[in-house]
Chain A
Amino acid sequence: METDKETHQGYKGRALDILKKFNIRVWSAVNIQTTRGHFEGKILPRSENDDDKHLVLKIPTGYNIGIDTDTIENMEETGFEKANYKIPEQEFPYSEHLPNVKLFGTGGTIASRLDYRTGAVIPAFSPGELYGAVPELADICNLTTEKVFAVFSENMGPSQYIQLARSIGEEIENGIQGIMIGHGTDTLHHTAAALTFMVQNPPVPIVLVGSQRSSDRPSSDAALNLIHTAHTAGHSDIAEVMVCMFGPTSDEYGFLHRGTRVRKMHSSYRSTFRTIGDVPLATVNREKVTPIKQNYNPRREDRQVRIQPYFEEKVTILYYYPNMQPDIVDALVDMGYKGIVIAGTGLGHVNKPVYPALKRAVEKGVHIYMTVQTLWGYVHMFVYDTGRDLMDLGVIPAANMLPEVAYIKLGWALGQTPDREEVKKLMLTPINDEITEKEPYNGYLVYQGGVPEVEEFIRKYHK
């Protein structure tokens, strides 16, 4: 028996009443008589967030329209056919000479299909489904998949990081030759940082990937990102935690970013992920990985990975703004926060009125680290008195660690020990370039359009 929810999916209020009145279900083929004339088509489910004044109708030409319920005079069911949309599966071929790669799913839809009747996104995830969607993968690796959990990118958190790290550890012990992780893009870089700290000294590439345009769109970046990622996981010599996403917005090549230096920098561009304060690790295309940085951790045959799955959840980022009041800091301390990462202005500053609150916090054992909201550049607290004062209060400068990375690392460090000195040592000893000794001259490139040389450049090269 179908429930009311299923027969009238998404309809409520007046719209639901009128459907019931004329005994019409979702998926009914209907003739509708209205004050605006006659309409014919199939009733579709309605999005929960839309109003209760309209019915959604797919008309014979394939378009959807809405019918105003106030205009309806009569409705008649002429047929019923429920859509049952499934991703086709084809067996993923196995080739002796190709590397074995594991794809972990976290809930983000790297590959998906849109149900053309409802618009619902149906994820493609099993190897067979992926093979149906991106057959090129079979020429790159032997793929197996595992859905570790299913959450949206914004709901990823410590327990997912830990679970993922453990699964990766098991796969490595079992001899896998490369790992791919499908992930929503919004917090992809947080997870990349967390895995860098939790999965240390990996012998194989661990590559996180997402897509900025879902793969039900013909010009999606998903397929190419997957191909690049599979290639990196299966064949590259770089055994690190990396993010693989579009280099330029054009379908040309991908970048491999170190998990600790990468950040999503545009809300919608395909080329949204950028390495901050350094050059990317490598480029990747359909054929090969080309390292840009020469000092990376090479692929190994051994299985000596160290899984360190720790996280203290009472850690936060405080984004400083002018006129910030000390009560914000007091409130955090009162609520039991153990670590605070400040994203300070300029070289790492906050205003004087906050000082007493920071002092109280440190005295209560809260670990406070300073990063910069400029994202590029180092915290430098010796330049001005204010910086020196802050350090005297116990605020620790975190060099050129990105604020989000510092947040993840502080959570990870506090998950292991509350000891001030030990935490400081963990924080300031880089595991994989979250702090670098220097920023290369070409590590800060944010071009500004309008100047002749930049215009010449973007006309000539695909950005």
Chain B
Amino acid sequence: MEYDQALDPRKNYQNTRQKIGYVNRKEATEADYQRIGFKSGLEVHQQLKTQEKLFCHCPAGIYHNNEDYDAEVIRHMRPTLSELGEYDGTALMEYKTRKEIVYRLNNETACTYEIDDTPPFKMDQEALEIALDISLQCKLNIVGEVHITRKQYLDGSIPTGFQRTAIIGVEGELPLKNKTVRLIQLSLEEDSCREISDIRHTRIFKTDRLGMPLIETVTYPDMFTPDELREAAEYIRFLNRSTGKVRTGIGSGREDVNVSCRGGTRVELKGVAHNKWIPELSHNEAFRQWALLFIKDQLAGQVTQPDHWEMSHMQIDIGEQRLTDDLLQQASHRGEQIIAINLPGFRGILSHFTQPGKVFADEIEDRLKVIACLERPNMSHSEESDPRLHADTFPTLSPLLSAGPRDAQIILWGPEEDIPTALETVEERCRMAFHEVPRETRKTFPDGTTVFERVLPGPDRMYPDTDSAPIPLDKKYIEERRKQLPEEIIDRYHNLREWDVPEDTYHYIFSKDLYPLIRDISEKLGYDAKFAGTFIGHTLKFVEGHYKRHADFQYTHIYDLFAFISQKGLIKEIAKKMLPWVYNKNPMDFEQILGEIHYKPLKKDEILSRLPQLHQQFDRISHANNAHSRNDWMMGQLHHNALGNIPLDELRKEIEKTQVNP
């Protein structure tokens, strides 16, 4: 094969996509997931609704804008050795990146504990209790003593370099509709910082969220399709919310999704904020791994001695090579080095499909950003669909690199001090392609694709926290808590079905934890459960979607509303008319709302006594005297008076009666 027989990157992408048998998520069947051996588990993070943070007395749940800070502190993270005297993979990578970590502190939400200048205070009792309640709810085996453990994180997201975390229970289970999902454990831990920016060698965090109590529920990899995965995620979220003691809103619940395909590796998709994104993300990740296995096979045919594989590189002087590419000239102006790399045997690999719209070369570019701190665009390669460089740039450089017909090339650029790490990074990723799917954590995007975030940490990064004493959980306390547990989500689900509440309301009811409200309206006030469920699941949902919520409105006001209606002897339908006012204007003064909607108390007889007169009136003004339009017109006339006084269907019947016999 001659070099000028150019490979068409677009075609190669399409062909490889087809070769691995990628299907769109919407068209994928269970057979597709069986074919690639889709397997996944969840780590569900949920913030708890406590007054204070987990290990200090700063308030929890107050957030600041990026510029709203009082002071900054700088830290660096150094890797610590594992028991074998080796640095953990993540540790080594984080150290290579040599990041300067800046923490922004706001005095309202951070004290000296957050920046690790004061040892931890006692663990927040409120948080421990909520975590215990949820652990019991998950049927976990509760530990005898809570041991606070340090879990190392070197990305800077926690100023100490480790997260304080503690197991509350192990080995539980969740009953989904069609299967049981096993739980590995539930831990109570402190939340991390929020990242403001990560540019070059500086990463900036804010510390408002840092230290807020969080639980992590970890499942076994028992989910074999993306839909099962989502169902499990929803179930755990609903269960957490059913306690009424967890935070809701943006960022308060986040999922880490572990995915692998047959022959692949556990890869962790980090911080998925919405459960609805889970199916697409996990689908694509399983296929990305599937694609990497095809790449491995293809490389085996193109590289005879993978263990002796080496790339070659040279520094490029753009003047000498007469290269006029804008990107290269700009890099050169910035004083950066430009390096051309030859990857023997990688022809057709760089443009190999990995994810929708992504190819193997992206795996390299992502790592250059994270590990070598080179901002994108940081490279170009010989198999780009939309070439960043001129068509003749690579052909010009290939002879200098002594490139052969089965090779591929990369040009990268960056500050001189980052080039050695950049070269190592490229070589390392390419070598991995011969052997395995790398163990990674990946950052997720709403379009269903992911990028490299970190090397997945090894198991040896857990250390006992020498700053805190173990906390015993005695039997009496556990039994006390067990008595106060809400019923299980699966039982609630069955109850709603039994009550004949429409199924399309369930997601809304569970996600807002409104089941107890429906139950109370039905059980305590005696309203029909189907009516209560439909009212909440349809009417309230509609109102929430169309009106602005009053600052004082709480769901419990709806119970008060029905109590009021019941006590006044009003008919229940009036609630529908009143709800927008309660929600939007005046959550507490129901009398006033009655005035606003022009309610007049009238007896049924009084209303019906107007019928004869209305019949006469209709006779006078009507053109088309049919029964249907007469009824409608009369309903329209009386609707107002009937509101709250007589159910509308009853009124209609009465009107119909009088029509037959006026």
Contact = CB atoms under 8 A, between A and B. Distances in A.
A296 interface: no
Contact of B83 (A39, A65, A83, A219): A83
Given A114-B463, A268-B118, A219 B77 contact: yes
A217 B83 contact: no
7 contacts: A51-B472, A65-B170, A66-B470, A113-B80, A218-B80, A250-B72, A449-B107
B250 interface: no
B112 A463 contact: no
Interface in A41-87: 50-51, 53-56, 59, 61-71, 83, 85-87
B81 interface: yes
Nearest to B473: A68
Interface of B: 69-83, 85-86, 107, 112, 115-119, 140-147, 149, 151-152, 154, 159-162, 165-167, 170-171, 184-185, 187, 218, 459-466, 469-470, 472-475
Given A218-B80, A218-B152, A67 B145 contact: yes
A403 to B, nearest CB: 25
A36 interface: yes
Given A71-B144, A455-B70, A459-B70, A59 B77 contact: no
Interface in A92-142: 113-119, 121, 132-133
Given A38-B171, A217-B160, A462-B72, A249 B81 contact: no
A250 B75 contact: yes
Contacts of A117: 83
B147 to A, nearest CB: 4
| Chain A binding surface SS class | loop
Nearest to B71: A458
A55 B470 CA distance: 11
Contacts of B107: 449
Given A114-B463, A116-B462, A463-B71, A249 B117 contact: yes
B147 A64 contact: yes
B466 A119 contact: yes
A219 B83 CA distance: 19
B170 A218 contact: no
A268 B112 contact: yes
A88 B71 contact: no
Contact of B141 (A36, A54, A62, A132): A36
Nearest to A88: B85
Contact of A463 (B73, B81, B82, B165): B73
Interface residues of A, number: 61
A63 B165 contact: yes
B141 A34 contact: yes
Given A87-B81, A270-B117, A462-B73, 5 more contacts: A54-B145, A218-B77, A219-B116, A250-B72, A459-B72
Nearest to B69: A459
B41 to A, nearest CB: 12
A463 B152 CA distance: 25
A27 to B, nearest CB: 13
Contact of A219 (B144, B161, B170, B184): B161
A458 B3 CA distance: 61
Contacts of A64: 147, 149, 167, 462, 464
Given A116-B83, A116-B462, A217 B71 contact: no
A330 interface: no
Contacts of A322: none
B73 A218 contact: no
Contacts of A219: 75-78, 116, 159-161
User: Most A CB atoms within 10 A — which of B74, B79, B187, B473?
Assistant: B74
A349 to B, nearest CB: 34
A54 B469 CA distance: 13
Interface string A227-259: 000000000000000000000011110000000
A218 B141 contact: no
A68 B78 CA distance: 37
A223 interface: yes
B85 A269 contact: no
B167 A63 contact: yes
A66 B144 contact: yes
Contacts of B466: 114, 119, 121
Given A217-B161, A219-B116, A458-B70, A63 B144 contact: no
Contacts of B71: 458-459, 462-463
A457 to B, nearest CB: 9
Contacts of B162: 217-218
A37 interface: yes
A86 B83 CA distance: 7
A249 B85 CA distance: 29
